[in-house]
Structure 1
Amino acid sequence: MPTGKVKWFDSNKGFGFLATDDGQEVFLPSSALPAGVSTVKPGTRMEFGVAQGRRGAQALSVRLLERTPSVARNVRKPAEEMAVITEDLIKLLDGMSNGLRRGRYPDSAHGRKIATILRTVADNLDV
């Protein structure tokens, strides 16, 4: 069976593409993924069968060889530190909501800071 790596996969669209070890592209439908697997990350190594479909090579009966390690999980902050950051974020958002109730958005510099903090917290939670 051929092997390769996931180039990209969009779980919302239900498909992606694999790059075989010899450089070919293979269509990867979500129906070919193993039971219980709904998405795969780029770089995940797989073994798969190939059939020629209407639009070219298509993966069948995919088997995961190794999952790509989560970089975020290896560098995320400890839970105790995230608790403090989350409490500070709540205070920050509460102050911002008071201004919004009075019909005022935060100025652009303050808004950028809030957005940066929100993204950082989200990145630490989404692994």
Structure 2
Amino acid sequence: MAKGKVKWFSAQKGYGFITTDTGKDVFVHFKEIQGDGYKSLEEGQPVEFEISAGPKGEHATRVVLR
């Protein structure tokens, strides 16, 4: 799993970006946040995730809080 921190996340829009520990920005959608209940992320929050290729480029999947 990759590690990083939330760069920004809009709960209203349901997406944002994670910056990996290597400095790469990766798109994240709220549906990829693991866990029950309201799914949102806070700026600077440490996370672990998988990186998958999609039609618009790479995106984070299976996002969990560290």
Q: What TM-score, normalized by structure 1, do the two folds share? A: 0.49
String of CA shifts for 1:85-119, please: whole Å, max 9, x gaps. xxxxxxxxxxxxxxxxxxxxxxxxxxxxxxxxxxx
5+ long unaligned stretches in structure 1: 66-127
Deviation at 1:56, TM superposition (A): 1.4
Which of 1 and 2 has higher RCO (CA within 8 Å, sep 6+)?
2
Greater share of strand residues, 1 or 2? Answer: 2
String of CA shifts for 1:40-85, please: whole Å, max 9, x gaps. 11000000011011221101111100xxxxxxxxxxxxxxxxxxxx
Between the aligned partners of 1:37 and 1:49, the Cα distance in structure 2 is 21
Say if 2:44 is the partner of 1:49.
no
Larger Cα-atom Rg: 1
5+ long unaligned stretches in structure 2: none
Q: What is the aligned-residue identity percentage?
A: 38
Greater share of helix residues, 1 or 2? Answer: 1
Deviation at 1:39, TM superposition (A): 1.2
Misfit runs of 4+, over 3 Å = none
String of CA shifts for 1:12-39, please: whole Å, max 9, x gaps. 1110000000011111100011222421
Aligned residues: 65
Q: What TM-score, normalized by structure 2, do the two folds share? A: 0.91
